[in-house]
Amino acid sequence: MKIKRIILTAYCALLAAFSIYLLLDTFVIERVYSAEGSVSEQTESITVSAGGSEQDSGSKTVNAARTETTVTKDTYQDENISIKITEYRTNGTTVYAADIQLSSAGYLKTALAKGLYGRNVTARTSVTAAENDAILAINGDYYGSQQKGYVIRNGVLYRSTAVKGKQDLVIYEDGSFGIINEEDISAEQLLADGAVQVLSFGPAIVEDGEVTVSSSYEVGKAMASNPRTAIGIIDDLHYVFVVSDGRTSESEGLSVRELAEFMKSLGVKTAYNLDGGGSSTMWFNGSIVNKPTSNGRTISERSVSDIVYIGY
């Protein structure tokens, strides 16, 4: 009996250790697959767009340097980029909307944390933004928390494993937006069609100027009021980045439906929900605009896998 107890104890200890390792491997341990802008043998595809992130609507390389700029606390203006941030109050929530107009789609970019593609490779939005000389940035789709779902960044395909029922936002080289279901089209085909960025979080919340998410869609946390991040397009090369605060006495937060209705009020044709909660962060000209929080008690950024940003 004593030997059996020893064997059982050892088995339970090994099982516990293995379970802990699986949790650490899934959520904590960094696994770098490639440097940003390149693909290694560990990634699922090595297809690279000829355009990259430096193409405008005419497929010309954008090499413009910053011209003379006019900057205030909530505005930025130069020859190529115009940004105005407005603070709103809706549904007991503080919402920040950055209205963006560009001369070229090449100024709408993404960046990976630490310049690396991998699992659990993260950094604060402000850090990644500063490292990439961003003017304006928001958190992205946190691709690193998932093992599947398309990842195309700046014209490079990193992950091509589709998720059934997953809606993605596609940003094409001319700056236009499209919404696709991963099961309906391959990542390789998207790249061939001119996709420069593919963000895989969702859902799409506005299409053709109409709200597309209903209260019946929302379940669990999506029904609750939370910090939110979204991106939308109003017209050609005219975009909005939106971040709402939440989980505090000052700012309740938005449901996905409320976020969609707010985006529609801004006049967007297409809008897409990005990673929210503690990830929701807007960074502008070296400062964090909103009050990011995970628990509602401490105001601090969560480290994330990627950002969407405006810059040269």
Residue 22 lies in a domain: no
In whole angstroms, what is the distance from residue 40 CA to residue 36 CA? 10
127: tokens are 């850090």
Residue 5 lies in a domain: no
pLDDT for position 95: 98
pLDDT for position 34: 73
Number of domains in the chain: 1
pLDDT for position 7: 59
Residue 169 lies in a domain: yes
Residue 6 lies in a domain: no
pLDDT for position 307: 98
b/e code 1-34 from CB counts within 10 Å (16+ = b) = eeeeeeeeeeeeeeeeeeeeeeeeeeeeeeeebb
Instruction: Give mean pLDDT in consecutive 10-residue pieces for the chain, a chain of 312 residues.
Output: 60 47 47 66 37 38 71 97 98 98 98 96 98 98 95 98 97 98 98 98 97 73 82 98 96 96 98 97 98 94 98 98
78: tokens are 């130069």
State the Rg of the chain over Cα. Answer: 21
Omega before 292 cis (within 30°)? no
Domain extent at residue 200: 33-311
Residue 27 lies in a domain: no
Residue 24 lies in a domain: no
Residue 205 lies in a domain: yes
pLDDT for position 37: 72
